[in-house]
Structure 1
Amino acid sequence: MKTTESSLVRQFTHGSLVKQILVGLVAGIVLAWISQDYANAVGILGSLFVSALKAVAPLLVLMLVMSSVASHKQGQKTNIRPILVLYLVGTFSAALTAVVVSFLMPSSLALVTGTDQIVPPSGILEVLRGLLMSMVSNPIDALMNANYIGILVWAVGLGFALRHSSASTKALLNDAADAVTFMVRVVIRFAPVGIFGLVASTLASTGFDTLWQYAHLLAVLIGCMLLVALVINPLLVFWKIRRNPYPLVFTCLRESGVTAFFTRSSAANIPVNMELSQKLGLDEDTYSVSIPLGATINMAGAAITVTVLTLAAVHTLNISVDLPTALLLSVVAALCACGASGVAGGSLLLIPLACNMFGIPNEIAMQVVAVGFIIGVLQDSAETALNSSTDVLFTAAACQAAEQRVTSRV
């Protein structure tokens, strides 16, 4: 009996999270179909999961960003400047693409929290004023009230202040960031249980039409990612190498993207990208730095996720968005993406930061995060495939462009 129990616990803690989420999703749909009363009762599991996300997300943003900035090496960026430019331009372009597609194909979400208290900003000036006031918030108050703009400012500021600290201090920061990341992993391991409760209670309350909302949202997300992978990224590569980019694009998607789709981790795909870079004959001194760095800051897929889900919430709440505010959202989403956590679903935890721009309360923003976990089986896989394949794609483009310049001079 004990052996069976330990086997079940091991299966839960070390089994495939994707398969477990699928089981939770199907179980929630079946329960909502069989009994609305029981489905509403298990809604407490979804509420607990959302509350756990709300508790850990602010601390995650603070520690990850502060540790990343403090540990950054002084001379690192000068060696790979063209690749960094491609990383940043690519991430911003992905966010901008997501804004355009979200306006053309607006998505709606089933949010169970009342929205009467929301006072949306009237325009870009009010958004900027809100951002500035959030930036100067007390750090303790920012953490307590989930003011992600203030958390981000304090994290960057403290990170820069600690860049000249001792190695032991930086090691402590890295250990603290790892500890918070571990707590996030623990919370996310309970995602199947939380999604079971969320799906069951949501479908029992709103009906099965909600499934079409999820399907539409997922189609918009994956459509944006395909557009970036097959149109935007090739244009950026052509800008660098001045020849047909698609052979290189398809090579990276085939040999890096497919693996990343199933591992769902940019960090786990680093060895694959290193091997592919060597196979492509790239400069080792360059890709040994750019590939690990890209796994941290080159997050086009995360930028798309943050943008699409935020605008879905904005559309659901009937908040009007003008063009300058949409452009500002693209910038904020790109910056958020650069700080995305390395755990599965890490980009979803940064959605509240973007939602803060539109006066959306943290309670509702976390429901949007929960929706992201519901569709995350495919969303996170496609996001990781785009992120990881783009790391080696942009590295190869910059290296080949440098080789072309040397050849032309000779």
Structure 2
Amino acid sequence: QIPGYVTAVGTQSSAATIPVNVECARKNGVSKEIREFVVPLCATIHLAGSIITITSCVTAVLLIYDLPHGISLMATFIATLGVAMVAAPGAPGGAIMSALPFLTLVGIDPTGTMGQLLITLYLTQDSFGTAANVSGDNALAILVETFHKKSLLKEGKIVSEVEAV
């Protein structure tokens, strides 16, 4: 996974990392049908690293400005982010741009000083959030492959190592 991680850090783009991540999945033993479906799909909808980053940055801004930051407030924001991130582009800073309309849920004006600070905080470490996303994508591909092999074994189908890879 190291080439995928390094590529994600360098590009800050899940989409740009897809070819490298597909190759990492191949080297990890994920079958062609699984890796060529799961990795691009996850690059689009699995943005856990970005959600964690945005949540951390929002919490930091709320703490800096001594604004409310309770569990229920943040849980609502995180749930909204989970849905909003499906539409986030795989470009550098795409996740924070998709999250901007929802900052008002936590009391941050996306066009004000706090919004600008949040964008700046996010962009300074976006590469590491992207790398977490990409690593998670590959982990999910391995999990899907594992469950797929188990279901084939349960059905009594024999899968040779050549066919599985």
- Indicate whether the TM-score tops 0.5: yes
- 1:163-174 to structure 2, matched below 5 A, reads none
- 1:211-230 to structure 2, matched below 5 A, reads none
- 1:152-171 to structure 2, matched below 5 A, reads none
Q: Deviations over 1:320-363 (max 9, x none)?
A: 23332222122122223332222212222234333210332231
Whether 2:45 is the aligned partner of 1:293: answer: no
Q: What letter is aligned with 1:353?
A: P
- 1:250-269 to structure 2, matched below 5 A, reads 252=1, 254-269=2-17
- 1:116-127 to structure 2, matched below 5 A, reads none
Whether 2:27 is the aligned partner of 1:274: answer: no
Structure number with greater Rg is: 1
Aligned counterpart in structure 1 of residue 116 of structure 2, from 353, 362, 367: 367
Hey, which bits of structure 1, 4+ residues long, moved more than 4 A?
Answer: none
| Contact 1:310-1:351 at 8 Å conserved across structures | no
Listed as ranges, the gaps of 5+ residues in structure 1 are: 1-251
| Contact 2:85-2:99 at 8 Å conserved across structures | no
How high is the sequence identity, in percent, across the aligned residues? 26
Going from structure 1 to structure 2, the CA distance change for 1:336 and 1:306 (only over 3 Å counts) comes to farther
| Contact 1:349-1:369 at 8 Å conserved across structures | no
1:405 and 1:336 map into 2 onto residues whose CA distance is: 32
Whether 2:129 is the aligned partner of 1:383: answer: yes
What TM-score, normalized by structure 2, do the two folds share? 0.80
Aligned counterpart in structure 2 of residue 284 of structure 1, from 32, 36, 39: 32
Whether 2:94 is the aligned partner of 1:354: answer: no
| Contact 1:305-1:347 at 8 Å conserved across structures | no
Q: What letter is aligned with 2:76?
A: L
The structural deviation recorded for 1:403 is 0.5
The structural deviation recorded for 1:271 is 0.8
The structural deviation recorded for 1:382 is 0.8
Whether 2:55 is the aligned partner of 1:328: answer: no
Once the two structures are overlaid, the 10-residue window that deviates more, 266-275 or 352-361, is 352-361
| Contact 2:15-2:43 at 8 Å conserved across structures | yes
The structural deviation recorded for 1:408 is 4.5
| Contact 1:277-1:392 at 8 Å conserved across structures | yes
Residue in structure 2 matched with residue 404 of structure 1 by the alignment: 150
Q: What letter is aligned with 1:278?
A: R
2:7 and 2:100 map into 1 onto residues whose CA distance is: 30
What TM-score, normalized by structure 1, do the two folds share? 0.35
1:285 and 1:279 map into 2 onto residues whose CA distance is: 14
Q: What letter is aligned with 1:403?
A: K
| Contact 1:351-1:365 at 8 Å conserved across structures | no
Residue in structure 1 matched with residue 87 of structure 2 by the alignment: 339
2:3 and 2:43 map into 1 onto residues whose CA distance is: 16
**Superposition CA RMSD, Å:** 2.2
Residue in structure 1 matched with residue 163 of structure 2 by the alignment: none
Q: What letter is aligned with 2:144?
A: A
